Structure 1
Amino acid sequence: MKKVFIIFILFLNFPLFAQNQNLVYQEESLVTVIKDLEEKFSVRFSFNSEILEGKTFNFSGEASLDDILNLLEKQVLISSQKIDESNIILKKDESAILLTQAFNLDEVLLNAEYLTVGFDKNEDDGSIKVSPSKLGILPGLTEPDVLQSLQMLPGISSPTETASDIHIRGGTPDQNLVLWDGIKMYHQGHFFGQISAFNPYITETINVFRSGTSAKYGDRISGVVDIRSSEELPDSLEAGIGINLVHADVFIKAPLVKNKLSLTTSARRSYSDILNSITFQKMSNKVFQNTKIDGGGTLTADTEFEELKNRFYFTDYNLKLLWKPNEKHTLSFSSLWVTNKLDYKSKTTYTFEGSEPSDLNSADDLDLTNNGFNFKWDATLSDHVKLNTTGYISNYTSAYFYEDTFGPDDLYKSNTANEIKDKGFTIGLQYAQNKHHVFRLGYDMSSNDIIYQIDTDYNNSNPFLDKDDDKLNLHSLFTEYVYLQNKWTFQAGLRASKISSLNKSLIEPRLYINRKLNNFWDIKASYETKNQTISKVLSTNQNYLGLGNSLWVLADNDRPIMNSKQFSIGFLFEEQGWKLDVDAYYKKTKGLTALKEIFNTAGVQPDDDADSFNKGKSESFGIDFLVKKQVKDFRTWLSYSLSKTNYFFDEVNNGKAYLGNFDQTHVLSLSNTYKYNKFQFSLGWSISTGKPYTNPKGVNQDANLIDYDEQNALRLKTYHKLDASVVYDFLFSKKNNVKGRIGFSVINIYDRKNELEKTFRLDSSSNNNSVRIVEQTNFGLGITPNLVFRLNF
């Protein structure tokens, strides 16, 4: 541990070299900016003076000349061409549609990089934009992970140490709206959330909203993660192939008709059913601990366990057709297939005193899939009006089958199925009066059909069936006004929805304001109201693997519509490579629903005559901090969240507030990246408060139940770990048309045993015919290495 700490300190003081300059331009004339750049970077620009007339430029921070040239292309549509290291030609970017700046608000103006290369802040709505293709190296990752990358941001974390189950400001993962090219996703992870289900090599941008969400997004009450593939036609064939210690992938971007039609496709598959690598084994140890797969879980001296079959794999496929018949129309078709498959068989031999051994044979089969399609048409109707039309279909299926036989007579079967059929469309108009005023108006409709069924049977004599089939249609109108001028950014929106099946109406105001006080300081505020008609409930009885124990259900007369209101206020400071971003928030949520059986509190066990659901509310409040310093090619940032989430359920804890299941008072991470020639290095340390849990106080022998103390009154031990990564980029061929990358990463370098969950069960295997409480603790990943090798053509 001492050596690791010394290495960590040395890393923080690594020598730094680059050609960055501290620059401040606030609505500065482009002519003045060009003269200043010539002086600071000792270069000479050649250009036609007409392309600079009447244009201004905004930037504050430390940047290289290449960074500024890229921003010039985005902000004022001026491209650059280097003649040599000292002479640069500027010209109008003829490849862009030369409309007003405000008309291009779908590609919102960007501030200087937010965390590291590939993280930018959208100025018109406060969201964060992540570009995986540009993303710099991150601690513990040898290649980008679409969702895990977001956990670098304050206010976004994963208390369960997964990539896909992200919690945004007190919300739960099912309360996040996750879109892939406009397709609503209900399953976002591979291997029970350890890896994102989205291929980063065909992902162009990820826009994430923690607050101040645009009115065009609906039907979720927490964050928004809008993932998009490229909307640009490739000029030539692009391809890539890669392999790490968990999966392999390939992608192709091909122009079918030059400047008109292109095809993008990708595939990823794990090879764990063929080769059991050290990385996959480490993940398996985490995922399957305290289940039958880790060796039987509850074996005693009188039992023997044998694994007969263990086949697990995941796949995802993408296909996108992009057609631009002319400069005013773009049509695209996107599709996605995500599959996770587990097939497991085992035998347990019991030897009872005075009798022959008896075998318990069991079989588990679990399928998780999410498939979807999207069609999109963007049209430029005039210099001021733009039309957006999109339609989607998303199908989710979770199917679990369990069977066991004990001797020749005892047969038990269980089937659990959860299916979602979601389809919808959106039509929107955008009117740009000028570069300062933009108006949006739209309508969208979505239709959800959700089925769940739990079917159990014992010896064909005691069948049990629980099923539900709900449908819900949601119609929404939304409008939005965006104002961008001088030092003000103002976005106000309203979303009005009608649920035809429940005959209910919903109104959702949205607001985001940003005010530049001077060249260094911004203040900001936001407010939003959101509603959600679909959610996950947890069932402890449906899955004997202890995995995927949740069902998607729709709001109805028993399950209320969830509603949240969030207010945030903060400030941003940027100067000489420093960035300080502080955001305080308060969020109140109503309409939470949970099965009574999940509460570890006496008196809330469901009975046949009572409603099996508990209804409650929550409140979350906190402050998110980001402090970043960039010195040449070295970047270091500290992300910290101070927060608290309280739950209120009338039948739990006597109706008093108790800590939310995923509440973490402190979440802090310190990350560092450094680029030297063809090498990139990253080191990061994170620490957070342990999750709450409920402690048992004894056993009710008559009811054969555990009696518990106050709900979530205790906490797990403090969580912390150190992660590192290094990659080396090289040219594979002499023609320089094949690029290669080798990378190595280590998660949890000092092998900390981090507690993730603590549960309790009853064991009746003792000889005195009484039951005892057995504590089970699930831990996070131990020290976990990974390797990657990639070729891009």
Structure 2
Amino acid sequence: MPNSTNIRGILLTICWLVLVGQDLHSQTSEKQSLLTVLENLETTYDVRFSYSVEELDDITVEYSEQATLEASLEFLEGKLPFEFNRIDERYITVVKNSTDYLCGRILAADTGKPLASATVVSTLTSYGIVTNSDGSFYVPKYLLGEQLVIRYIGYQSWQIAVSDLTTDCETILIPAEVSTLDTVFISNYLVEGMEKSLDGSITINTSEFGLLPGQVENDILFVTQALPGVQSVNETISNINVRGGTHDENLILWNDIKAYQSGHFFGLISAFNPDITQDVKIYKNGAPVNYGDGISSVISMKSKDKVSSSASGGAGVNLINGSAYGIIPLSNKATLQVSGRSSLNGLWESPVYQTYSEKIFQDTEVTNTNPDETGIEVAAEERFSFYDFSTRLLWDLNDRDKFRLNFLALNNALEFDETIIETESSKNSELELRSLLGGISWERTWSESLSTKVLAYGTTYYLRALNKDLLTSQEVFQENDVLETGLKLDASLQFTNELSLFGGYQFIETGITNEQEVNLPRFVDFKKEVLRTHAAFAGLVYKSPSERTNIKAGLRLNYFTELDKFHVEPRLAFNQKLTEELSVEVIGEFRSQATTQRIDFDSDFLGVEKRRWVLANEENIPIITSQQASVGVIYESKGWLINLEGFYKNVEGITASNQGFQNQFQFERSTGSYLANGVEFAINKINKEYSVWFSYSYLNNQYEFDLFDPSEFPHNLDVTHAATIAGSYTFNRLKIATGINYRTGKPYTLPLMDNEITMEGLTEIVQYDEPNAERLPDYYRVDVSAEYLWQISDQVNAKINLAALNVLNTRNTLNTRFVVSQDANGDSVVNQVNTFSIGLSPNISFRVLF
């Protein structure tokens, strides 16, 4: 349990959030006409404004009440192209100022009519404005170098550079939204830049995303854990648990290419560079039928997809890695995107690197060099590095054809040296984890209603370890390889204004190799399997003329060639707006997947990586299937959001070897299922300056293995209660955020009291009590972060971020296992081995953007 200091810190943080929320509640902005604002100021301060009614008649402004008249005038001058000049103590003139402002005029591309009250916000600062009745808007010239995002319901989000604007208010045409359930109906879900769509998915727009507690950079996969029902029981990116599922049950896509590796630093950092990632879409249920695999979730990352007319880029460094990216126009029809990131510990092992190392290498061969067990004093040293590199070619051949070429390389390398101090003899062990992803796509718009897309891709995963025993001549070599190639065809037909149809075909060939070789005694185990999958899918999207009823339904048919099996997978997403503020949604899906990860604690990769990919074979590894349904209620009004959702999830075909049991079932070979049901709740208050939210999830997650005794018991990931309270605040170019994370401990199994050790053949093993009958202590963590952005010149901005994970340095137990060892007298005893959460981890980053 947390000590009293931690509890006081948590309570103080909660009080701070509540006070900030109450204090800021009165500052909520409201959109008003400028004439109304001036009339109110005249009444309040007994002054009179002199102006041209024609110039001000169509002007609107999101106005926040200010403490003084001077503050009010300063606020208006920062939002509008007008100057307020005092003639005397009572009279003030309002004069248009066109020299310090740029402007644009937003029109609908389909009708040519102005889009009044469209929102125009900066992606870097808190600056935002709404368009006037003629679609015009004004932006101060000091925002040169920034990007603007234009939003209007029923039309696509549109991004432009401030440098593209002029003083002549040139026209900007915004295309209408295609009639799909990807349409956003909650634009800021918990934080700025997070959106909820009509199909139940959550989209994270990285260019607009606000600040999360504990992050100096918005780690793409860490951000997903801000959602209720998404967490990581061991604090890693490579173990994301969605509604009680294991990490291998998530389908992770980079530009529609499946990624088998998700993390750097063995899971502490996302493997996907956020610099050129445009958005991340998460489906916890009801994924569209064009997605296969991933019975628990789909996490789809997309890079920026717009050909750029001007060059941009950035570079930065933090206490873990350095990174850089560039967006380079090759012509008016082609753009090259490049990005790279590399660890810095080869130059300097920062305090945060050391904290990360302590977290990830605990209870592994890198740290298990205790001389008490062997009587020999051993010196150990590890050398670790990681990098990623991506490049993307965007070529718009013409108005109808788009060509895209994608490439991503990920690499992690660990070398581990052990030396006997007395004899100076040494051995070197090594571990390498790398992935390559590549794809080429062609998208064509045949007409206003028909479009197609073809994607061909390849993805590889390579995990290799060589473990040399220091005290013997034994060497153990292990390898896990994945090679997947695929072809995907998609077509979409806008049948009417209310109805659109879509469908396609997908072919996947997956080959997985597992190899283990020991020199003494000689042992070789080599296994390679290949599985080919054909899938056809089709569906429809219906949106009623009133746009109050929205339905997305489809059917996917999978055929697994080598197994000669068909799987039929219906999917449904239904959203009904009851009032302008209140909606209900019903979502359901059938899913299947043929690739899973087996967990081997005795044949792991130096203890650092314990999982290896395997293919379904219908002998001892079946195809995993799931059925899931959820019902939700969403209320949104005046900056308030309330979302309540209940779900039911049944997963069949799991194996004991891919669940990671560390009890009496660790070496059992059996198939089973789990049933998870629960409730997720989120409440959020947000406006332009701040966001405060509370999320909670309840989960009941139970295994059933018919051959085990007992056959039913709690899931390893049965985290009954999880809650987060967090807040962020933006003041001009400064952002701050803080948050508290809490969850109940996961289950574990105790040895049988007074009979802890038993014999199995000639080996002493732990004899366990009821499986997963105990719980680890509750988990608490407090995080903070801050960001400041300043303008170096019209084209260059700089950004500095400060953050700290686990501010109170709370020592949370993440896992407990038991082993038989010998005490000082040579007697056999059972020892408890714990792994703990990451300690206090302060970090700082500096970035230059141009």
Q: Normalised by the size of structure 2, how large is the TM-score?
A: 0.83
Alignment partners' CA distance in 2, 1:66 and 1:762: 66
Partner of 1:511: 572
Partner of 1:475: 534
1:349-369 per-position Cα deviation (integer Å, ceiling 9, x unaligned): 6xxxxxxx7888443211111
| Contiguous gaps of at least 5 residues in structure 2 | 33-55, 64-75, 82-103, 120-125, 132-136, 138-148
2:252 to 178, 192, 197: 178
Matched, 1:122 2:192: no
Partner of 2:30: 21
Alignment partners' CA distance in 1, 2:217 and 2:468: 40
Instruction: Classify the secondary structure of the residue corresponding to 1:192.
Output: helix
CA contact (8 A) 2:395 2:404 kept: yes
CA contact (8 A) 1:428 1:440 kept: yes
Partner of 1:372: 437
Alignment of 1:38-77 (within 5 A): 38=60, 51=111, 66=129, 72-73=151-152, 75-76=154-155
Partner of 2:468: 403
2:842 to 782, 785, 793: 785
Partner of 1:31: none
1:759 to 799, 811, 817: 817
1:446 is aligned with what amino acid?
I
1:143 to 199, 202, 217: 217
1:617 is aligned with what amino acid?
S
Instruction: Classify the secondary structure of the residue corresponding to 2:607.
Output: coil
CA contact (8 A) 1:389 1:426 kept: yes
Partner of 1:429: 491
Alignment partners' CA distance in 2, 1:78 and 1:217: 24
1:683-715 per-position Cα deviation (integer Å, ceiling 9, x unaligned): 100100111111112011553111011111111
Partner of 2:626: 564
Alignment of 1:149-548 (within 5 A): 149-258=223-332, 260-294=333-367, 296-297=369-370, 299-300=372-373, 302-307=375-380, 309-348=381-420, 361-406=426-471, 410-458=472-520, 462-485=521-544, 486=546, 487-543=548-604, 545-548=606-609
1:549 to 602, 606, 610: 610
CA contact (8 A) 1:431 1:440 kept: yes
CA contact (8 A) 2:632 2:646 kept: yes
2:734 to 679, 684, 689: 679
- With over 3 angstroms needed to count, the CA separation of the structure-2 counterparts of 1:81 and 1:158, relative to structure 1, is closer
- With over 3 angstroms needed to count, the CA separation of the structure-2 counterparts of 1:36 and 1:425, relative to structure 1, is farther
Instruction: Classify the secondary structure of the residue corresponding to 1:708.
Output: coil
Sequence identity, in percent? 27
How far did 1:738 drift?
1.1
CA contact (8 A) 1:596 1:614 kept: no
2:187 to 108, 112, 115: 112
CA contact (8 A) 2:465 2:605 kept: no
Alignment partners' CA distance in 2, 1:412 and 1:78: 60
1:740 to 779, 794, 798: 798
CA contact (8 A) 1:79 1:92 kept: no
- With over 3 angstroms needed to count, the CA separation of the structure-2 counterparts of 1:475 and 1:295, relative to structure 1, is closer
Alignment partners' CA distance in 2, 1:82 and 1:221: 40
How far did 1:111 drift?
2.7
- 360-369 or 260-269: bigger deviation: 360-369
Partner of 2:90: none
Alignment of 1:502-651 (within 5 A): 502-543=563-604, 545-558=606-619, 559-595=621-657, 599-602=661-664, 604=665, 613-651=669-707
Alignment partners' CA distance in 1, 2:537 and 2:766: 50
How far did 1:557 drift?
2.9
Instruction: Classify the secondary structure of the residue corresponding to 2:211.
Output: coil
Alignment partners' CA distance in 2, 1:91 and 1:76: 19
- With over 3 angstroms needed to count, the CA separation of the structure-2 counterparts of 1:520 and 1:247, relative to structure 1, is same
CA contact (8 A) 1:21 1:64 kept: no
CA contact (8 A) 2:325 2:339 kept: yes
1:326-381 per-position Cα deviation (integer Å, ceiling 9, x unaligned): 111110000000001001011346xxxxxxx7888443211111111011111000
Instruction: Classify the secondary structure of the residue corresponding to 2:357.
Output: helix
CA contact (8 A) 1:723 1:748 kept: yes
| Contiguous gaps of at least 5 residues in structure 1 | 24-33, 350-356, 607-611
2:716 to 637, 661, 667: 661
How far did 1:67 drift?
6.5
CA contact (8 A) 2:511 2:528 kept: yes
- 500-509 or 157-166: bigger deviation: 157-166
How far did 1:81 drift?
11
1:443 is aligned with what amino acid?
Y
Instruction: Classify the secondary structure of the residue corresponding to 2:819.
Output: strand
CA contact (8 A) 1:79 1:93 kept: no
Alignment partners' CA distance in 2, 1:664 and 1:187: 25
How far did 1:404 drift?
1.6
Alignment partners' CA distance in 2, 1:497 and 1:80: 38
CA contact (8 A) 1:78 1:93 kept: no
Alignment partners' CA distance in 2, 1:597 and 1:684: 31
- 225-234 or 543-552: bigger deviation: 543-552
1:548 is aligned with what amino acid?
E
- With over 3 angstroms needed to count, the CA separation of the structure-2 counterparts of 1:646 and 1:216, relative to structure 1, is same
- With over 3 angstroms needed to count, the CA separation of the structure-2 counterparts of 1:36 and 1:613, relative to structure 1, is farther
1:561-600 per-position Cα deviation (integer Å, ceiling 9, x unaligned): 1000000001000112110001100000000013399544
CA contact (8 A) 1:439 1:482 kept: yes
- With over 3 angstroms needed to count, the CA separation of the structure-2 counterparts of 1:3 and 1:775, relative to structure 1, is closer
- 781-790 or 67-76: bigger deviation: 67-76
1:200-226 per-position Cα deviation (integer Å, ceiling 9, x unaligned): 011001011011110110022110001
CA contact (8 A) 2:453 2:489 kept: yes
Instruction: Classify the secondary structure of the residue corresponding to 2:603.
Output: coil
Alignment partners' CA distance in 1, 2:751 and 2:512: 36
1:591 is aligned with what amino acid?
G
CA contact (8 A) 1:371 1:394 kept: yes
CA contact (8 A) 1:77 1:93 kept: no
Q: Normalised by the size of structure 1, how large is the TM-score?
A: 0.88
- 626-635 or 547-556: bigger deviation: 626-635
Alpha-carbon RMSD across the aligned residues, in angstroms, is 3.0
Instruction: Classify the secondary structure of the residue corresponding to 1:572.
Output: strand
Alignment partners' CA distance in 2, 1:537 and 1:300: 30
- 109-118 or 139-148: bigger deviation: 109-118
- With over 3 angstroms needed to count, the CA separation of the structure-2 counterparts of 1:381 and 1:416, relative to structure 1, is same
- With over 3 angstroms needed to count, the CA separation of the structure-2 counterparts of 1:522 and 1:22, relative to structure 1, is farther
2:395 is aligned with what amino acid?
W
Partner of 1:102: 178
1:118 is aligned with what amino acid?
G
Alignment partners' CA distance in 2, 1:749 and 1:265: 35
Matched, 1:692 2:747: yes
How far did 1:172 drift?
1.0
CA contact (8 A) 1:741 1:791 kept: yes
Alignment partners' CA distance in 2, 1:167 and 1:724: 23
How far did 1:71 drift?
5.5
Alignment partners' CA distance in 1, 2:658 and 2:12: 50
Instruction: Classify the secondary structure of the residue corresponding to 1:113.
Output: coil
- With over 3 angstroms needed to count, the CA separation of the structure-2 counterparts of 1:691 and 1:362, relative to structure 1, is farther
1:233 is aligned with what amino acid?
V
